[in-house]
Structure 1
Amino acid sequence: MSWLNEQNEAVSLRIEKIPFATLAQWGYDAAEGRIRHASGKFFSIDGIRVNTNWGTVAEWDQPIINQPEIGYLGFIVKEFDGVLHFLMQAKIEPGNVNYVQLSPTLQATRSNYTQVHKGKKPRYLEYFQQAKPEQILLDQLQSEQGARFLRKRNRNIIIKVEDDIDIYENFVWLTLAQIKELMRHSNLVNMDTRTVISGIPFGQVQSQVIDFFNFLGNGKGRSSVEKAFLKSALSQEGSVHSIENIITFLTQLKSVFDLEVRKVDLKQMREWVYGEESIHHETGKYFKVIAVDVEIGNREVVQWSQPMVEPAQEGLCAFVCKEIDGLLHFAVQAKLECGNHDIIEFAPTVQCLTGNYRQTKEGALPFLEYVLHAPKEQVYFDALQSEEGGRFFREQNRNMIIIAGDEISEELPENYIWMTLNQLYTFLKFNNYLNIQARSLIAAISFV
């Protein structure tokens, strides 16, 4: 943490909100009805009209980030004295709450690493482009925020090296345990780090082996909750539902619910105001699109301007867990969001991003009141975590994991299902099953 503070102090930065008219290389394209970069690359801000039979609102308009490129979110890892270490970057993004956060070794869109911006290539890019199959420990396409991005995905990848590599001054080696410990502090570990480490598989073993391993850990400071998480992560036995049952549950929902998304001109969106300095909802709710001018000392490009999305308030994302038949299960929500690649993804038990959860009518959202009033001793994890600072302006959401008792019934509301941590890891191997809010919470789980 001292090193992070030093990195913060060492970099000069200037971030200012500006009118849309003064954006450099960006502007409203009247023919396409969107805000886009002069190169046609990076991303655009589009208007969309959504029609669905999911939920209580059947149709709405909104702006959305359209970034069809698949970028890299990648870690280089290396063993030191038999312990795997992750090469992390202290990176400033214009939207970060506290400027410097710990990001993956490589965090780059295709436009960035193909140097559309005429800047320098990202550090360590060649290691990922030249990685051999036997070096790749993890390789997944994972979705971004479904309410803000239109069908956006990134390549989450971890590669292992044996040779010594040059370490630049804003990079550092950390163990996985150190990363998870730093996540307990608000806004230190960025969203891109969290999504990559959430996908790390821990395998599966027989229950008796797990119980023996947990027995060996007695007296070493490991809590009963951490032991329960380990058993839930490694065991395929004793789950309420089989993987096949869960696939059927999700397939049924995807078959019943429709999602139609059509492009509309940003200036023709209903209930949205296209102003000189923002595109905002006429009620002031949800989020707005703004423009910023940025100057950061240690980036591939040190000065630029761009549009960003600014939230109306912080959000809340929480998993409620409960031990059922001796195995910890997660109450998982199936959630439709307008930018989802395949209609519905698995989400946390509670996910409130676009509305003010403090003003939500009592009983309107399952588990919200329970999460907000959970006793301290049942709260395993509680920290503010930033969303991706390259697109979102100072957006942070409260991330919580609650361990419930008998006060929570095994009977779940419609569109919810119990899953073990092992089952969540199984679905993480594949594309577009778990949303980024669920992955962020899974990344926070530690077994020590």
Structure 2
Amino acid sequence: MDPASPEVVAVQDAFPSNPPPEPFVVPAIFQNPDADIVVKSSDNVEFRVWKCILIEGSVVFKDMLSSANSSQDAADPVPWPEPAKVIDRLLMLMYPVVKPALDSIEEIFTLIHAADKWQIDVAIAYLKENLMSRRVTRTDTQYFQIYAFACSMNFLDVQEDVVKMASNLDPLGPDVRRYLADMTALDLLRLVKLRTYPLATFDSHFSDVPQPAAQVAPGATAVPEVFQDPDADIAILSSDGIEYRVFKLYLCHSSEKLRDMVHRLGSERSNPAESTLPKLSIPLPAATLETLLCYIYPMPKRTNGTMPLEHLMVCLRAAITWDIRVAVEALSQELTMPWRLRSHPLRIYGFAASTGLAEEAAKAKGRAMLLDPLSHPLKVDFMEMTARDLAVLHESHALRNNAFEPSHQLIRQVKTVLEEHITL
């Protein structure tokens, strides 16, 4: 059909396309011809501003603009990779002017993320006050959103301020499920407990004994002889300064990440033929690093389940991070030993789910769902768990109970009949 035909024109008139967005208009205060710097947004809008305000208002710009080695030409725009509207708001919060009205809490969240990225403390403080302001009427859902956002940003003051209002909604209900992604299991559990026991403190629901001070694992300072080999061709330094003399071959075959680091180290040496042992720094404490080396090396492993759970999880997380598969496989099996699953199913489930160990998480979930996780008395067992994982576990427990309820009713009926028969 001809695009110019009356029929097509009529259809286009009936369903007009969305008009293009209006171009952003820079406020007059940011078009000052006397300003000494120009910043350019990600959508190519330029703001003429005062360098001293950027330097005082933003730690990032202070480092960028006040550096003695800065080669930035004053006439060249400084890229600021944020949308013009975000830059406009942040500049308003840095300048000594009347502050802008904000459109929504979603806009506040966006601005806080940007202010946090550029380390603009004055903007963060103002925006947090806006979230906590009682001059603005908010719905229960908005308070729940604010609580979830504060949890994700670790804004403890905002959490304390809005938690009571956030608990007006069922934190396990479908209406707020999409906000759980920003929360930990303890953040969610706090709402559950406050909703059920409004006068009790959160910690009063747990029976954890005070945790003893962390002890250095055996061998963390006394390096085993196998890792002091005089014929070794590389030295590994832990984050706490312990040196292990090992062979590159084992490192390179155990992990691609370690292999790449070893190869880079070799290429960076000014004189590859020099006799000094190359040293590779790995940001892991000696206790963790030594355990991983024991799995990398062909030597007897501890398989009797004596490794403390905390140390096991630290080492397994490090093995996953460094992609040391031989250690991941062995430590994962150690994690899901039957006696561990019986003793700490909730903690193992949270850890396994958070580290992407799906098979191990499923095993632990099978044990953890036997009891209601919302009534679990050990706070430490929730430390590794996300809010979504806790919600899923609670639902699984409820579904299991509902599935067994008809059987329980039948058992009770049979028991009643037998008791009546005996009485007769």
Compare the two structures and name the one with the higher strand fraction.
Answer: 1
Quickly name the TM-score band, shorter chain normalised: under 0.3
